[in-house]
Amino acid sequence: MVLKSPMVSILVPDEFCQYNDFLPDGTKVFSYQCTKLTLFNKIHRKFLAFLSTRNPKSRIIIKSKPHELDQISVLYLPAWLVLLEHEHNSLLKQLPNLRWIYSQKTGIEHLPLTDLKDKNIQISNSGTLVSSWVAQTNVACILAHAKRIPTHICSEISLKKQAVFTNDISLATIAIIGTGNIGQNTAQLCQALGMNVIGFSRNPKSKTPNEFFNKILPCSELDNILPKVDYLILAIPLTDETRDSIGLKQFNQMKSSACLINFARPAIVNQKDLVNSIKTNNIAAVFTSTLLNTARFTRFKLALGGRIILTHHSEAHLVEKNKLAYKQFSKLLAEFITYGKIVQTGKVI
């Protein structure tokens, strides 16, 4: 039996109120202002955490009266908002009846997961929305590398014309570590171009047959397949298990013509091993959203002429991303209003 919940009060950033027409009936909106903050790496995060101890004032200004905060059960966190620990704690104290957080970021490791689980607060993210965008970028990188687009650009800039041999991608073997939404969307596009697509999963037996992968293998078999791989694509979250899981051992087994594509978290790949493998021609190129400690590797990047290509989180700057994410949030909100919780389409911890 479906029970209708009473009116639900939500807290959203000021910038998103322009999209409130998407919201379902039964929604009361409160808004907040917040200073934008980007954390570039661990050092930056620690520095900002240190500053927060000197100035523990929260950057979040909620536009409502104190007694109205008890009504709020839903919180929307935009992709650009990174909260420090004391700000998370402050928010949870101010919102005692919070039951669901929608995070526009694809990952959720930046949230206080233990506290949220203890308080029985559900979490959803924009993973299903972003997956198709990341998949498009993955395939764009395959095409750019196979047709030597970076080499052509470097040649034009240096005014050194040279004949460049290109590859037929329909003959390529693609290894995708991670068979979730991003992995499946990437596999679908690769198969449409005739590539041989192999997926790697921690629990391949639990995966239902997928028409877009030629086969799905356990991650333990990756080393056996790497010598045959032309493109290695990472589509897994950053965890203690996956941190530095791709390094010199894996690069040594790959073809010298192979390419790494990583639009997951940079820390999944050992950064020093990656740069050294490019320098020693263990692999041909890497496409990634960023490098950790980018300044440290700048001189290598410049010297390697188009073999380390940074996209600087291009998916995060997609035109109308906020509007599309708010539409997704609104659909989930209708589910929350109907059932009092996210039943199927939200990620629950």
CA distances from 18 to 14, 199, 327, 329 (A): 8, 41, 12, 14
Residue pLDDT, tens place only, 182-226: 999 999 999 999 999 999 998 876 555 578 899 999 999 999 999
Q: Where are the alpha helices (DSSP H) in 173-212?
A: 181-192
Count CB neighbours of 276 within 10 A. 15
In terms of Cα–Cα distance, which of 299, 266, 295 is closest to 286? 266
Least confident of 1-10, 19-28, 237-246: 1-10
* Residue partners of 146: CB distance under 8 A and separation at least 6: 166, 167, 168, 169, 172
**Mean pLDDT, range 161-180, rounded to an integer:** 88
Q: What is the pLDDT of residue 50?
A: 55
* Residue partners of 162: CB distance under 8 A and separation at least 6: 155
Least confident of 25-29, 52-56, 168-172, 323-327: 52-56
Pick 30 or 107 by higher pLDDT. Answer: 30
Task: Assess whether pLDDT exceeds 80 at residue 174.
Answer: yes
Cα angle 14, 132, 20; round to 5: 25
Residue pLDDT, tens place only, 23-64: 998 899 999 887 655 444 444 455 555 555 555 455 677 877
Residue pLDDT, tens place only, 246-264: 999 999 999 999 999 998 8
Residue pLDDT, tens place only, 269-284: 998 899 889 888 899 9
* Integer Cα distance of 133 and 102 in angstroms: 19
119 DSSP 8-state letter: T
Give the model's confidence band at 67: pLDDT under 50 very low, under 70 low, under 90 confident, else very high.
confident
Domains of the chain: 8-98+319-339 (no CATH), 131-316 (3.40.50.720)
* Integer Cα distance of 81 and 33 in angstroms: 11
Q: What is the pLDDT of residue 201?
A: 92
Q: What is the pLDDT of residue 303?
A: 46
Residue pLDDT, tens place only, 228-242: 999 999 999 888 899
- Number of residues that this document lists for the chain: 349
Count CB neighbours of 82 within 10 A. 15
State the average pLDDT for the chain: 82
